[in-house]
DNA sequence: TTTCTTCTACTGGTTTTCAGGTATTTTTCA
DNA sequence: TGAAAAATACCTGAAAACCAGTAGAAGAAA
């Protein structure tokens, strides 16, 4: 196998240099470029082939996550590893959606970086230990005690989310509209919200929809 | 390091036997049990220590994803690998939320299984190649063209999601309630939905909230 | 300068929700 | 089998949302 043509993207030139030095002696990869801006990377990709990108989230021009998605759309074969200091759960989860093959914190050891690169280029996704901890950590919303819903309530909740009125739902489930109203009211109570709009938002946050 | 005490959970006894045979010769793990039901597993966990669980999603009594969450809550040190035939994106994404350390399809090779187990027990998360493909695939919702919202509309959208009424919002933004009503109506039109409930659901699916 | 978009505001009417309740019949499960 | 939980159904009135159409003002873009 040829050496992996690797590009480093980070808004701090120092980090780029540091990574270059760290990875200089890796047998299986070769650093072919370093960029501190997203636009620079994009124009480079249009001219030269690249196998692996180590990508920071914070960039001066384009958001790293958006950049990730853009790259994946145009150059689907490129493997992208996110290397960032962001420890927010939502950011990490977003990067998966956007096609990244892994997420590492910048304080990761060289060993972890090596392991993740190996995993990523074979097609797997890999998260470093600290990142896994963040992912596993329950969301704020999940900490809030999720209300216990009955089967009927779940059913009606999802129909409400489809924009159906009590009457619609009643017809669909062969119930009295008054019954549906009651369930709706109980849902609003259980979630401690003001109306259906907030109910749907809350249910979504707690991954019930 | 001691051998990993491993339990297999699958509703098909044949699969359990197959996995047992496959993993029999692995130096670093030992199959200490096999269950075809969630309840059986749970009562076992209360009596014996376990390091690793290979868990199916489809079980006769408890949903595998819920089971995963339950196990993680009570026995946080146990590593759980999902081994399933489900190729639905939402299911895979859900398992991460619920604390699984990886997801493999049942047609994975022994090599992939080995690699994922190794990755998982060291604390990382690992997805097999096919699973990565599924994850990277854009969601249906992301394919749907997201409506272009104006600044005001975004603002009002998020206030609506907080359960605020047109009047509340009007007061907060120093507008006429009628104006807020208009914006709300435009939002409902742009999203091609019937009412605010569905609007919130749609906005959430398109990650606008 | 004209055109387009966005934000603003209105009329008038219909439908639906929401907030208090209460109460009977099924299920569930210990 | 008996208690608890869930599902069903009802009442009333006020508040809010929804529908459909119109239209002026401000700002940006062409």
| B17 and B76 together in one domain | yes
Structural domains of chain B, count: 2
Under the banding of pLDDT at 50, 70 and 90, the label for residue A197 is: very high
| A125 and A157 together in one domain | no
Q: Which of these three, A114, A136, A158, is where a domain ends?
A: A136
Whole-number Å distance, CA A185 to C1' C22?
15
Query: What is the DSSP code (8-state) at residue B98?
Result: T
CATH code for position A60: 3.40.50.2300
d(Cα B169, Cα B163) in Å, to the nearest integer? 10
The answer to whether the Cβ–Cβ distance between A209 and B209 falls below 8 Å is no
Across the range A19-43, mean pLDDT stands at 89
Q: Which of these three, B92, B117, B136, is where a domain ends?
A: B136
Q: Pick A193's closest partner by Cβ from B93, B163, B201.
A: B163
| B171 and B120 together in one domain | no
**What's the residue count for chain A?**
209
- Strand C: which positions are within 7 A of a protein CB? 5-11, 15-23
Percent of chain A's residues with pLDDT above 90: 36
Determine contact, residues A119/A126, Cβ cutoff 8 Å. yes
C-beta atoms surrounding B184 within 10 Å? 20
Ramachandran angles phi, psi of B203, nearest 5°? -60, -40
pLDDT in tens, A134-152: 776 655 445 556 778 888 9
Q: Which B-chain residues 68-127 have CB contacts (< 8 A) with chain A?
A: 72, 93-94, 96-97, 99, 101, 115-116, 119, 122-127
Ramachandran angles phi, psi of A138, nearest 5°? -65, 145
pLDDT in tens, B118-128: 878 877 778 87
pLDDT in tens, A102-115: 888 888 888 778 87
- Whole-number CA gyration radius for chain A: 23
Domain of A91, in residue numbers:
4-136
Chain B nearest-CA distance from A171, in A, is 17
CATH code for position B168: 1.10.10.10
| A34 and A86 together in one domain | yes
pLDDT in tens, B60-108: 878 888 888 888 878 888 999 998 888 887 788 778 777 888 888 888 8
Q: Which of these three, B117, B136, B155, is where a domain ends?
A: B136
d(Cα A118, Cα A120) in Å, to the nearest integer? 6
Across the range A172-201, mean pLDDT stands at 92
| B81 and B37 together in one domain | yes
The answer to whether the Cβ–Cβ distance between B161 and A198 falls below 8 Å is yes
Across the range A44-68, mean pLDDT stands at 89
- Strand C–CB B86 distance below 7 A: no
| B128 and B151 together in one domain | no
**Is pLDDT of A116 > 70?**
yes
| Residue labelled with tokens 């124009």 | A43
- The tokens describing A40, both together, are 């620079």
| A113 and A60 together in one domain | yes
């Amino acid at each position: 196998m040829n050496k992996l043509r690797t590009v480093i993207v980070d808004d701090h030139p120092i980090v780029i240099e540091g990574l270059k030095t760290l990875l200089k002696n890796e047998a299986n990869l070769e650093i072919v470029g370093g960029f501190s801006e997203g636009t620079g990377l994009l124009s480079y990709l249009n001219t030269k082939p690249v196998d692996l990108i180590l990508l920071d989230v914070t960039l001066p021009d384009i958001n790293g996550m958006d950049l990730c998605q853009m790259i994946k759309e145009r150059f689907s074969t490129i493997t992208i590893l996110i290397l960032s200091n962001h420890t927010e759960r939502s950011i990490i989860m977003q990067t998966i959606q956007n096609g990244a093959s892994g997420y590492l914190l910048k304080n990761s050891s060289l060993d972890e970086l090596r392991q993740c690169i190996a995993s990523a280029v074979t097609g797997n996704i890999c998260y470093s230990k600290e990142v896994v901890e963040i992912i596993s950590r329950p969301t704020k919303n999940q900490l809030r005690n999720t209300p216990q819903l009955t089967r009927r309530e779940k059913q009606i909740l999802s129909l409400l989310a489809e924009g159906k009125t009590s009457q619609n739902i009643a017809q669909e489930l062969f119930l009295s509209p008054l019954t549906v109203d009651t369930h709706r009211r109980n849902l609003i109570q259980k979630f401690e919200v003001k109306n259906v709009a907030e109910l749907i938002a809350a249910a979504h946050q707690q991954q019930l929809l």
